[in-house]
């Protein structure tokens, strides 16, 4: 692919397409967006107008888009229940696929995606852009260098005091596969597992709540929700244990009466030091019989007004993804890693339903990459 522009098709031209994928891809010289598909035709047309290469095609059926011969990559940016079928079809049609998070609505559909990528030899990645943040990258370096020692306790945090997404079909249990847990808990869990390189869960306990969802005229940054449409949980919590002894507590909520909020964040506690993202990235430890806390400077290290460090994880994600295609390397977010995240989220939902723990006897999910 070197020296050639990568031809990308967009499926689902809604919020995340306009907010992350299309503006990021538009900044890359080695990419052209040649096809746009949305079940609402005007959205696909608008995408093509604003971001399309000359002659960009517009479709309302993704099957027409993935059938294009002169197309290298498909970005799947639809609601969650369409992630797996569209991704599998695009891989089978010989395209590389970037699919938005969460990978799929359950582990069966996620595994179908993993298997399709492995069968076809095409690349598949998931839109966990938080891995590309400067603080996440720095913390990953610290973890990989062993600076925290053995991390044996972690928290994956995705808690909003109020932040119920009222557009699209986010509140629809059937189409999304769940609420805040699958929507934002997925980012925090992905970050925590990736930082600690830990993909072998052995047991999961979970609880879900639906306590604030029935409110009429609720305070919410995106406007009050309709209780009749709100069919998912409003909070979910998990307790996950791993085969190396690590425990992760996952907290996720779209609406919780708390001032302790934070999203796409992790807290790591290791034998040598700890780290958290609760007030920027902070490292805490003990030296010379004293406790210390440091905050690495994430910005302002360049020349005033010419800083190249204005953080845009969406752009970094797009760059790395397209580079992995051009150079034929593995994307940072690997399918089997996202599969394990999906398995754990599903187990939290299952445990919440039965009131019992879920045990993974043998985790085959990530054998090939971890």
Ligand X SMILES: NC(=O)c1ccc[n+]([C@@H]2O[C@H](COP(=O)([O-])OP(=O)(O)OC[C@H]3O[C@@H](n4cnc5c(N)ncnc54)[C@H](O)[C@@H]3O)[C@@H](O)[C@H]2O)c1
Residues 6+ apart with CB under 8 A from 10: 17, 21, 22, 33, 35, 36, 37, 47, 74, 75, 77
CA distances, 87 to each of 47, 80, 98, 236 (Å):
20, 11, 8, 27
User: Tokens 């109020």 sit at which residue?
Assistant: 162
Start-end of H helices in the chain: 15-16, 22-26, 41-51, 62-66, 83-92, 107-120, 134-144, 173-176, 180, 186-196, 313-326, 335-354
Q: Is 80 in the site for ligand X (CB under 6 A)?
A: yes
Q: Is 222 in the site for ligand X (CB under 6 A)?
A: no
Selected range binding ligand X among 72-80, 136-144, 253-261, 322-330, rule: CB under 6 A: 72-80
Report the residue from 9, 47, 52, 127 that binds ligand X according to the rule CB under 6 A: 127
Nearest to 170 by CA among 122, 232, 245: 232
Residue number, 21 or 142, with CB nearest to ligand X? 21
Q: Is 43 in the site for ligand X (CB under 6 A)?
A: yes
Report the residue from 37, 66, 164, 213 that binds ligand X according to the rule CB under 6 A: 37
Report the residue from 38, 72, 109, 190 that binds ligand X according to the rule CB under 6 A: 38
Q: Please check whether residue 99 is in contact with residue 116, taking contact to mean a CB–CB distance below 8 angstroms.
A: no
Selected range binding ligand X among 9-17, 112-120, 150-158, 225-233, rule: CB under 6 A: 9-17
CB of 141 to ligand X, least distance (A): 23
The residue whose Cβ lies closest to ligand X is 14
Q: Is 225 in the site for ligand X (CB under 6 A)?
A: no
CB of 349 to ligand X, least distance (A): 16
CB of 333 to ligand X, least distance (A): 11
Report the residue from 36, 51, 62, 194 that binds ligand X according to the rule CB under 6 A: 62
Q: Is 185 in the site for ligand X (CB under 6 A)?
A: no
Give per-residue burial for 54-77: e unless 16+ CB within 10 Å, then b: eebbbbeebeebbebeebbbbbbb
Give per-residue burial for 138-167: e unless 16+ CB within 10 Å, then b: ebbebbeeeebeebeebbbbbbbebbbbee
Q: In the structure encoding, which two tokens stand for residue 370, read together?
A: 């971890």
Residue number, 12 or 179, with CB nearest to ligand X? 12
Q: In the structure encoding, which two tokens stand for residue 123, read together?
A: 């690349």
Q: Is 13 in the site for ligand X (CB under 6 A)?
A: yes
Cα–Cα dist 183/203, whole Å: 22
CB of 308 to ligand X, least distance (A): 24
The size of the interface with ligand X (CB under 6 A), counted in residues, is 25
Report the residue from 23, 149, 168, 227 that binds ligand X according to the rule CB under 6 A: 168
Residues 307-346 vs ligand X: string with x where CB under 6 A? ----------------------------------------
Q: Please check whether residue 186 is in contact with residue 349, taking contact to mean a CB–CB distance below 8 angstroms.
A: no
Binding site for ligand X (CB under 6 A): 11-17, 37-40, 43, 62, 77-80, 82, 100-101, 127, 129, 167-168, 183
């Amino acid at each position: 692919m070197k020296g050639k522009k990568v031809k990308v098709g967009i499926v689902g031209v809604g919020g995340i397409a306009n907010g992350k994928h299309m503006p990021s891809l538009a900044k890359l010289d080695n990419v052209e967006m040649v096809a746009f598909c949305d079940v609402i035709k005007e959205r696909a047309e608008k995408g093509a107008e604003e971001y399309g290469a000359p002659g960009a095609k517009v479709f309302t059926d993704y099957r027409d888009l993935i059938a294009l011969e002169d197309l290298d990559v498909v970005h799947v940016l639809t609601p969650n229940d369409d992630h797996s079928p569209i991704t599998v079809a695009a891989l089978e049609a010989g395209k590389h696929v970037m699919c938005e998070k969460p990978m799929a609505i359950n582990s069966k559909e996620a595994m179908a995606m993993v298997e399709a990528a492995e069968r076809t030899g095409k690349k598949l990645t998931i839109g966990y852009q938080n891995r590309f943040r400067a603080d996440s990258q720095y913390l990953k370096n610290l973890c990989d260098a062993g600076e925290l020692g053995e991390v044996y306790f972690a928290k994956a945090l995705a808690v909003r005091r109020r932040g119920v997404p009222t557009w699209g079909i986010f509140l629809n249990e059937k189409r999304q596969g769940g609420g805040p847990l699958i929507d934002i808990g997925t980012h925090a869990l992905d970050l925590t597992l990736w930082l600690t390189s830990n993909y072998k869960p052995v047991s999961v306990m979970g609880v879900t709540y639906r306590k604030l969802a029935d409110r009429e005229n609720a305070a919410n940054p995106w406007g009050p929700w309709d209780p009749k449409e709100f069919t998912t949980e409003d909070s979910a919590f998990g307790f996950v244990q791993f085969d190396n002894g690590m425990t992760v507590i996952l907290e996720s909520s779209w609406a919780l009466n708390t001032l302790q909020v934070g999203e796409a964040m992790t807290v790591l506690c290791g034998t040598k030091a700890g780290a958290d993202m609760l007030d920027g990235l902070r490292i805490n430890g003990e030296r010379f019989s004293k406790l210390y806390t440091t905050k690495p400077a994430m910005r302002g290290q360049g020349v005033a007004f010419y800083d190249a460090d204005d953080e845009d994880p969406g752009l970094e994600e797009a760059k790395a993804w397209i580079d992995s295609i051009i150079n034929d390397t593995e994307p940072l977010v690997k399918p089997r890693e996202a599969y394990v995240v999906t398995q754990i989220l599903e187990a939290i939902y299952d445990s919440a339903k039965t009131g019992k723990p879920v045990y993974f006897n043998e985790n085959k999910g990530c054998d090939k990459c971890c």
